[in-house]
Amino acid sequence: MRNDYLWDGSGAPDPEVQQLEHLLSVFRSRDRRPHTRTRWIAIAAALVMGVAAGWLVSRNAPESWQVSSARTGTGRLQVGETLETGVGGHATLEVGDAGMIEVEANSRLRLERARRNEQRMLLEHGLIHAFIWAPPRSFVVDTPLAVATDLGCFYTLEVGKDGAGLLHVTAGWVSFEHAGRESFIPAGAACQTRPGYGPGTPYREEAPAPLRQALQDFDFAHGGEPALDTILSTATRDDAFTLWHLLTRCDPAQEPRVYDRLAALVAPPAGVTRDAILQGNRQMLDRWWDQLGLGDTGWWRDLERKWP
């Protein structure tokens, strides 16, 4: 079917259809943003006295999560209690109104907080799949080596018995943080932690194997210049967010090379200068991030973004 604008936008434009497309674009699906409803409600609560806010404070969420397991049936996990799934076990946790967690076999976790605005657990080891629809930053998973903070998404978090972690984001965003070092991980990307290092540099799941290996060497095995060479030579436009993170965590002597490669992949916007970026100018780093195609920093700021 060609030359049929209504069918596929080809052929002579139909002005009426075009006008409708333009008008209705405000309703279009947008990815990689935190949940809209919660944001709208927060705004409404602030501006429309009492209505939504009253609802929010009048509901008392129980300080526990519902647990469903084929082995033990349904019960509640209280704050301070530990859940172990064991060999072949599996459990589903309902995190109040915040979302749901699937807990795989051989996992051990402890519920730390179960408040309406803060749901928090410690994953000592094992594997969970989290599906969170609560406002960003209201669901947090502590691991032995890092803290995973949900920014509105589906994600999988695996922690080994040595504390090493692997976080994979299916949809939305997750922040992975330890000792002031924070990684922002978008959908389709992953991030590892290792004892003694904290979160590594996030990367695309589908990044070339040499790039992923080089990042691992750089982050956790003192890979130095050889690893950085591989990272910079194999990174593509889709890996720009990886290089953006590297800018703030490599040695100062390496920053110019990272800057140049990132600039070759995604030109910095007008007014963002090399000198300012190399001096760690946060505002300019922010503006460069906006060019990466991963959403603008407006909502990062809404989330009280911390900087790596």
Partner 1 sequence: MSASPVVAISDDAELARAARQGNRVAFGRLYDRYRRMVHGILLARVPPWEVDDLVQDVFLSALRQLGNLRDDGAFGGWLAMIARNRAHDYHRRAHEWTELPENLPAAERPSSEAIAALDAIRSLPAAYRETLILRLVEGMTGDEIAARTGMTAASVRVNLHRGMKQLRQILESEAHA
The least CB distance from residue 6 to partner 1, in Å, is 5
Nearest CB to partner 1, comparing residues 29 and 60: 29
The least CB distance from residue 150 to partner 1, in Å, is 12
Nearest CB to partner 1, comparing residues 125 and 249: 125
The least CB distance from residue 260 to partner 1, in Å, is 28
Nearest CB to partner 1, comparing residues 192 and 201: 192
The least CB distance from residue 39 to partner 1, in Å, is 8
Nearest CB to partner 1, comparing residues 156 and 248: 156
User: How far from 18 is each of 21, 22, 75, 156, 307, CA to CA, in Å?
Assistant: 5, 6, 54, 41, 42
Nearest CB to partner 1, comparing residues 28 and 222: 28
Footprint of partner 1 (CB under 8 A)? 1, 4, 6-9, 16-17, 20-21, 23-29, 31, 33, 35-38, 40-41, 43-44, 47-48, 52, 55, 100, 129, 131, 133, 154, 156, 158, 160, 164, 166, 168-171, 187-188, 190, 192, 205-206, 209, 212
The least CB distance from residue 257 to partner 1, in Å, is 26
The least CB distance from residue 231 to partner 1, in Å, is 16
Nearest CB to partner 1, comparing residues 216 and 248: 216
